[in-house]
Chain A
Amino acid sequence: MSGNNKPSDGQQNTTHFGYQQVKDSEKAKLVADVFHSVAPKYDLMNDLMSMGIHRIWKRFTIELSGVRTGNKVLDIAGGTGDLTLKFANLVGVDGQVVLADINDSMLKVGRDRLIDRGVCGNVEYVQADAEKLPFADNTFDCITIAFGLRNVTHKEEALKSMHRVLKPGGRLLILEFSKTNNPIMSKMYDTYSFTVLPLLGKLITRDSDSYRYLAESIRMHPDQETLEQMMKDAGFVRTSYHNMTGGIVALHKGTKP
């Protein structure tokens, strides 16, 4: 369930961009525009929107990654480099972390931030599309994608591409917004997402539309079970997921056999 609709005769594939249906070929540009717009204030907005909890979600992702000295790690949609920063310490000088993002604005912000923090030598920056990862087969010990999969047009293609570049025994971790089963929390979360988030976006980045897209894209993203099945379909085994903060966010884990 990626949200893509197969074309009928003479029509182009369509997909969702938030609640809108757009042509497949247009989604990447629309998502790119969103991230070009929010890149300079991305970290500040993340802290404000999640009240700092995104750091805890990411910390748990690191815990489950099992990354150790000498490993090669790919951080897809790595944005401003929160995960890369931690991974760079864990892999040490013998390892390597590749921070990949399709959006050059985000990649520049991430690269500058990491260099400012003295992280260099074992980190590479690659502008790459998650659906067509420009790496050889069986390259990485671990791949992470945090809050990025929902923006990918063809999620199945992206999962297959990640499966290809992972080493056998390597693990994929997907940290993404998901669905909460608690009706009260769901109601509060809806109110927060569709009123507070666009307002914060307007105040901080002068762009409420991008944050409205964020809220809509979360609702359109596959739920926990569906995403786990998509991982299995892509060839991952030992798949599982951990709900965090009542299921608002889920961390999916899978291993390449």
Chain B
Amino acid sequence: MSITVNTALYAAMEKVVNELLALDPLTQQRLAHFSGETLCIQSTQPKLTFYISFTLQGISLHSHHEINLTACITGEGIHLLRLLLHKSTADNTLHERLQLAGNTDFIMAVHHVIQESELDWEALIAKLTGPLLAHKVTNGLKSGLHWLQYTRLTLQQNITEYLQEELKELPPRNAVEIFQEDLAQLQSDTEQLECRLARLQKPFKNAPQQD
């Protein structure tokens, strides 16, 4: 994407987030404590890197950062989004699916503030469209996101089933596990046999040779 388009998109996103923060002064105030710190967000799928700098007025989003970073979160886009949107699963996501680097205390503190925030997207959209349409839009977005997650999960399950049951290209998980156990047993038995053979050969090697 060209630098101009990229920078314009970040500027627009920054404006939206800062307007949202303005509707939630408590979160704005709590985030202002991180003023001067910069968080790098690296999405591996889709490939995207951006930086969030915290200021007294809110945040600043940018595609380039030339000075020291405070911390960095790396992971797939979907998990980064879950971290932002789903309060109940956020902790598990943070630990299992994402890689953290730098000052992790800072990441946890920012995450905690976001979890406790009451960002009112609906109020922001309502300023542009009126409350009725805003409610419909946010409801649509919520159900769209839910549908995307459900579809992703179903697709993953169906592909697994198709490859294992229909095409027989991949063995089922339990068959692989049994095979692994058998293999481990065989390896152990072979090692034991090798030891016994070595022990049996020992007296012959040490016996005096007769002409």
Contacts and interface: CB of A to CB of B under 8 A. Distances in A.
B62 A63 contact: yes
Size band of the interface chain A makes with B? 10 to 19
A120 interface: no
A69 interface: yes
A64 interface: yes
Contacts of B63: 63
Given A57-B4, A60-B3, A245-B4, A66 B55 contact: no
Given A89-B55, A242-B3, A245-B2, A56 B8 contact: yes
Main secondary structure on chain B at its contact with chain A? loop
Interface stretch (B24-32, B64-72, B127-135, B172-180): B64-72
A60 B62 CA distance: 8
A189 B7 CA distance: 21
A242 B7 CA distance: 13
Contact of B66 (A64, A69, A243): A64
Interface string B1-26: 01110011001000000000000000
Contacts of A64: 64, 66
Contacts of A55: 11
A59 B67 contact: no
A29 interface: no
B36 interface: yes
Contacts of B36: 68-69
Nearest to B68: A68
Size band of the interface chain B makes with A? 10 to 19
Interface in A41-85: 53, 55-57, 59-60, 63-66, 68-69
A59 B53 CA distance: 14
A53 B4 contact: yes
Contacts of A53: 4, 8
B3 A244 contact: yes
Given A55-B11, A56-B11, A63-B64, 11 more contacts: A53-B4, A60-B64, A63-B62, A63-B65, A64-B64, A65-B66, A66-B66, A69-B36, A89-B55, A243-B3, A244-B2
